[in-house]
Amino acid sequence: MYAIVDIAGQQFKVAKDQQLFVHRLQGDEGASIEFDKVLLVDNGGKISVGVPTVSGSKVTAKILSHLKGDKVIVFKKKRRKGYKKKNGHRQYFTKIQIENIVA
């Protein structure tokens, strides 16, 4: 059984006991959260497609940790002009584990 869920503006294909990294979510570590924007549910070959979401279905997950991703370096340069600019950032992520999918 799997589902396609909209989490923080991105779509993810999730299954039970799967761990994934999503954009930073509100909530403490160990807290349980629910996602009700379920776009598609496959329950043993029976596929339910939402218009735009599947009514009555939800996905529950547990927040495992909040962390930062790898550093991304942004380097801009214009040749022969003496223009160089170096910048970087680290994206904030939340690691979650899918606990249950209710179709």
**Which range marks the domain in which residue 39 is found?**
2-102
- What does each C-alpha distance from 73 to 34, 35, 89, 90, 91 come to in angstroms? 34, 33, 7, 9, 12
39-91 tens-digit pLDDT: 999 998 899 998 999 999 999 999 999 999 999 999 999 999 999 999 999 99
> Do 19 and 43 contact (CB within 8 A), yes or no?
no
CA 64/CA 43 separation, integer angstroms? 26
> Do 83 and 77 contact (CB within 8 A), yes or no?
yes
Strand ordering across the sheet containing 10-15? 10-15, 2-7, 38-43, 46-49
Total domains, the chain: 1
Confidence of residue 103 (pLDDT cuts 50, 70, 90): confident
> Do 19 and 31 contact (CB within 8 A), yes or no?
no
